[in-house]
Amino acid sequence: MRSFLATALAGSTASPGRSWLAASALIALLAVAPIIALLLIATQSSGDLWPHLISYVLPHALSQTALLLLGVSVIVTAVGTGSAWLVTAYDFPLRRGFEWALLLPLAIPTYIIAFAYLDLMHPIGPVQSTLRALFGLRPRDLHFLEMRSLPGAIFVLGVVLYPYVYLFARAMFLMQAASLVDAARMLGASPAAVFFRVALPLARPAIAVGTSLALMEAINDIGASEFLGVQTLTVSIYATWINRTSMPGAAQIAIAMLVVVVALIVVERRARSRQRYAAEAARARRLQPVRLAGVWALLAPALCFVPVLLGFLAPAAYLANESWKRLSFAGFSDRLVEETVNTMLLSGIATAVILAGGLVVAFAARQSRLGLHLLRIASLGYAVPGTVLAIGLLWPMALVDEALNRVGLVSGMFLSGSIVALVYAYGARFMAIAAGGIEAGLSRIPPSFDQAARMLGRTPAGAMRAIHLPLVRPALLTAALLVFVDCMKELPATLLLRPLGFETLSTHLYGEAARGTYEDGAIAAILIVLFGLIPVILLARLSRREG
């Protein structure tokens, strides 16, 4: 009887299953098409560009990128791991608040932090002016960090990106065997020995995952690096494409950058595989925090407050103050209203498209192993910097435009430099968020639900509408929110692919910073920050629930 039912079920679902897989394969192909196109563009001749690049551009860009990644990795590892250990292993005043407050820098894109610190740390900015007024100092008596420099960029990216390490390290500290830490304490190990000889070795894979993710964000950055005058590989790609109008040259540099990204992904994957063993080995009770007293009870919250102050409070307070002054003086300009509408509309359309694609890919992955492989392929674009994706998109879109022009359907650049190109770029980049989130939600639904639906004559699409969609709604909403905010903050792809005369909040801010009129971009920046707070609050609630 069972074999009969199994045969009947297989026969009744074979065709719909193939259609889900076919749709998933198409989405995966569209997602990797920019990468394939980039490889083809890179094979074209770039003329006499490379001698110039080798002599004057690449050595400097490579060294600046390497030093930037090295400096950022030191900061994010030290700050992220240290703060995670403090709030996990010790109990002190405001500890509960710091558990989520340490995530706040995730709400602010790196280019906005750079934008704020350029004005905050300026010789006539509020920080130096206040110190001179308080202590009666002359300008030459103060020696501050020059923000328009490589150390300035390392500082900015470090204080924004450390939460990646904090999140993973804290989760691992929470899962580690409390018995190991207790045993070390009972044997008389000092707090430093417990951390360096017990906790840190167990958390090393998680720290490697967080650091590699932070470095991928750092190498993708274009706004902060350009504002601060650091010639990284990403900035070199942008300059080669825009200033030298050489797409093959830009693609060839992008390939070199992809090698770095792939190396980071390999490190991250290897760390994840080791993380699984560490977690399994540590399946025990949770680590109970030790109550601090005396000077340590004051020092611990002070240490946690510093990264929150530098990564969120100081730039957010500056932006809020500048926004208030601009609103009091000139109100909310019509241009800003239009750009806000553009941002919301574009992000909304892209979110709807990405969610629909993510749902198809995740549902196909639930049905077969091939579908799972297609989901992994469709998620590859998340690891590719927006600048690289933008270059990979232009060529195939130009070919489509040329074909449409030839048959007389449209004239001119119908796809290239259009909203369609932007939505495509967002889809290729952020499909991993939607597909991964929905897949995680679907994994909590028992397979017996699918079997029962099929026995009642439901097709996979009917089962999805009646069973899966209602149950997976929380995961869908979370994915929609994360995708929407990421689309709203995305700068490199928007900057390179937006239609002529089409501005969003992020490109408005970039334009004001490029002109040096920082105060005029404050309102756009604070709007992006306010929207960026929403997923951080959700993330903090989720982290607290799991903790």
Q: What angle do CA 301, 302, 303 make, to 5 degrees?
A: 90
pLDDT of 10: 43
Q: Is residue 382 a contact partner of residue 431, using CB atoms and an 8 Å limit?
A: yes
pLDDT of 12: 43
Closest residue by Cα to residue 474 from 428, 541, 374: 541
Give the integer Cα–Cα distance in Å for 231 and 501: 27
pLDDT of 308: 94
Give the integer Cα–Cα distance in Å for 129 and 520: 21
What is the SS3 assignment for 91? strand
pLDDT of 545: 59
| Cβ burial, residue 100 (10 Å; 0-12/13-18/19+) | middle
47 in the Ramachandran plot: left (φ > 0), alpha (ψ -120 to 50) or beta?
left
pLDDT of 81: 94
Closest residue by Cα to residue 257 from 273, 241, 270: 241
Query: Which residue in this structure is represented by tokens 């806000």?
Result: 340
Closest residue by Cα to residue 275 from 319, 209, 333, 335: 209
Give the integer Cα–Cα distance in Å for 244 and 127: 39
Going by C-beta distance under 8 Å and a sequence separation of 6 or more, which residues neighbour residue 267? Answer: 208, 212
| Cβ burial, residue 443 (10 Å; 0-12/13-18/19+) | middle
Give the integer Cα–Cα distance in Å for 347 and 331: 25
pLDDT of 281: 47
DSSP string, 51-86: HHIIIIIHHHHHHHHHHHHHHHHHHHHHHHHHHHHH
Q: Which residues of 385-395 are buried (b: 16+ CB within 10 A; e: fewer)?
A: bbbbbbbbbbb
Q: Is residue 287 a contact partner of residue 202, using CB atoms and an 8 Å limit?
A: no
pLDDT of 80: 93
pLDDT of 7: 42
Q: What distance lies between CA 202 and its chain's CA centroid? A: 26
Q: Is residue 525 a contact partner of residue 475, using CB atoms and an 8 Å limit?
A: no
Query: Which residue in this structure is represented by tokens 């109550």?
Result: 291
pLDDT of 275: 54
Q: Is residue 475 a contact partner of residue 438, using CB atoms and an 8 Å limit?
A: yes
Q: What is the pLDDT along the chain (547 residues), one digit of tens a residue?
A: 444 334 444 444 445 567 888 899 999 998 888 888 888 887 777 667 777 777 777 788 888 988 999 999 999 999 999 999 999 889 999 988 898 889 888 878 888 888 888 888 887 778 888 888 887 777 677 777 788 899 999 999 999 999 889 988 887 887 765 677 778 877 877 888 888 888 888 888 888 878 888 888 888 887 788 888 888 888 888 777 777 777 777 787 877 777 777 777 777 667 666 555 444 544 556 677 888 888 888 999 999 999 999 999 998 888 888 888 888 877 777 888 888 889 889 999 999 999 999 999 988 888 888 888 888 888 877 767 777 788 788 777 888 888 888 877 777 677 777 888 889 999 988 888 888 778 877 887 888 887 787 787 777 777 888 888 888 887 788 788 878 888 888 888 888 888 888 888 888 888 877 776 766 778 888 888 887 777 777 766 666 655 5
User: How is residue 446 annotated by DSSP?
Assistant: -
pLDDT of 468: 83
Quote the tokens at residue 461: 């699409």
Count of CB atoms situated within 10 Å of the CB of 313: 14
Give the integer Cα–Cα distance in Å for 277 and 280: 5
Query: Which residue in this structure is represented by tokens 């270059």?
Result: 391
